[in-house]
């Protein structure tokens, strides 16, 4: 993976994490936190949607997949916090 690919991953992760934090009533998590939530969400979303036969392509598609995965991640974290 080249430096541009890594930068794209970081930018998509930051945006997806920030958006998911806003939607899931968590607010922002800071730049590093947003990147981590977004990248973990992208992996989670890729796994879940891949199992369902849904694929995302392009930067916008990957951003949508990362955002949805990050929302799922934050939802699962909120369930664990309540228990």
Cα separation, 66 vs 33, in Å, equals 14
User: What pTM was computed for the model?
Assistant: 0.88
Report pLDDT digits (tens) over 18-56.
999 999 876 667 888 888 999 999 999 999 999 999 988
Return the domain boundaries, the chain.
10-82
Contact 42, 8 (CB under 8 A): no
pLDDT at 56: 86
**Percent of the chain residues topping a pLDDT of 90:** 59
């Amino acid at each position: 993976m080249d430096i541009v690919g890594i930068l794209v991953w970081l930018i998509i992760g930051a945006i997806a994490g920030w958006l998911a934090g806003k939607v899931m009533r968590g607010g922002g998590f800071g730049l590093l936190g947003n990147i981590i939530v977004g990248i973990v969400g992208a992996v989670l979303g890729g796994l879940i949607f891949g199992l369902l036969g849904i694929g995302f392509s392009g930067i916008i598609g990957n951003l949508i997949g990362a955002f949805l995965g990050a929302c799922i991640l934050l939802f699962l974290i909120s369930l664990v916090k309540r228990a």
